[in-house]
Amino acid sequence: MTARPHRPGQRPAPTPRPAERVVLLDVEIARQLSLSLADTRALLRVGSIPARRVGGVWTTTQARLSAWVDALPSADPADPAGLDDADDGGQDA
């Protein structure tokens, strides 16, 4: 089977782009979140990071991980430690 030549008035078929990784493994999740693998797996186990276990390995999709990261609350620039007063149990130090 031979490819048909390009006909005038028709656009040529798009050149396929290299495949992007759609499914991420736990190691790739850790790398993207700049976390250790142990910390990432702990967050995966408690359900903090959206993922599933497939054959004993945690996996998620790039789209799902990106949506989760985008939905995280922004850090307060006035609180460089990333802590707010509500976490101290209502007690002043």
pLDDT digits (tens, 9 = 90+) for 10-63: 777 776 665 566 899 999 999 999 999 999 999 999 999 999 999 999 999 999
Per the listing, tokens 């186990």 go with 45
Structural domain span for residue 53: 23-71
Q: Which residues contact 21 (CB under 8 A, 6 or more apart)?
A: 28, 62
Number of domains comprising the chain: 1
- Establish if 64 belongs to a structural domain: yes
- Establish if 17 belongs to a structural domain: no
pTM of the shown model: 0.60
